[in-house]
Each structure stands twice: as C-alpha cells, then as structure tokens.
Amino acid sequence: MKASTSSSATQSPPLLTPRRALNGPGLAAVTFFCVAGGAFGLEDAVGASGPLVVLLAILILPWLWSFPTALMTAELSTAMPEDGGYVVWNTWSSDALHGGGDGASRYSLLAY
C-alpha cells in the first residue's frame, strides 16, 4: 500500500506552544499548595459542601481569623511604642521575670 500524498496530509497544523506566564492568583495558589500542602480535611469539606463553599471559606476565613489579631497588635503597638512587641506587652501585664521568661520560651520555639 502506498501512502496518500494529498495536500491535506502533507500540511500539518502549526504547533501550539503553551503560554508560560504565572499571574497573581496562580502565584498565590502555587505558594499556598507548596507551603501548606492544603488544609487538613479540605478534601472532605469539598465532598461535603461543594467546591464553591470551600473556596469562599478559604478566601474569607483567614481574614476573619487574623483581623482581630491585627487590630489587637495595632492597638498595643500604639499604646506602648517600644521595640519588643510581645515581650514588652507581657512584661507590662505581669512582671519582668514572667514577661522575659515567656518571651524567651516563645522565641526559642521559633527555632523549631
């Protein structure tokens, strides 16, 4: 058998090259999944409530969780304008021994 030599068989369509650009939302998703590996129970949540509810929860809950902490930190930072953050606040609320010890134990945990 002989191969067909029609005009459509000799012309191949141009190869499409994929676009290799990473935009902001793509970078955020890659960062989230590389660092966190996804939240624990995320697969079960998607199965139970659907992907839209889980995506909304992923976008909304971090803001609801961290906004009060950010407000507290801003208030304490303006009330006590000293360098030291948590250690200064803890020392002011108790005494130097407890504040310094608690600060040292907290900062030593950051090494692990």
pLDDT digits (tens), the chain, 112 positions: 555 555 555 677 777 777 778 888 888 888 877 777 666 777 888 889 999 998 898 889 888 988 998 998 888 888 888 777 777 777 777 776 766 676 677 666 666 6
In sequence order, the 6+-apart residues with CB closer than 8 A to the CB of 39 are: 58
The whole-number pLDDT of residue 4 equals 53
Q: Do 94 and 100 form a contact (C-beta atoms < 8 A)?
A: no
- pLDDT (0 to 100) of residue 52: 93
- H or E element that contains 108: helix 96-109
| pLDDT value for 22 | 81
- Identify the pLDDT of residue 2: 53
Contacts of 82 (CB under 8 A, 6+ apart): 88
| Residue whose token pair is 């992923």 | 58
| CB-based contacts of 84, cutoff 8 Å, min separation 6 | 103
Alpha-carbon distance 54 to 48, whole Å?
9
In this prediction, residue 56 carries a pLDDT of: 92
What is the model's pLDDT at position 39? Answer: 66
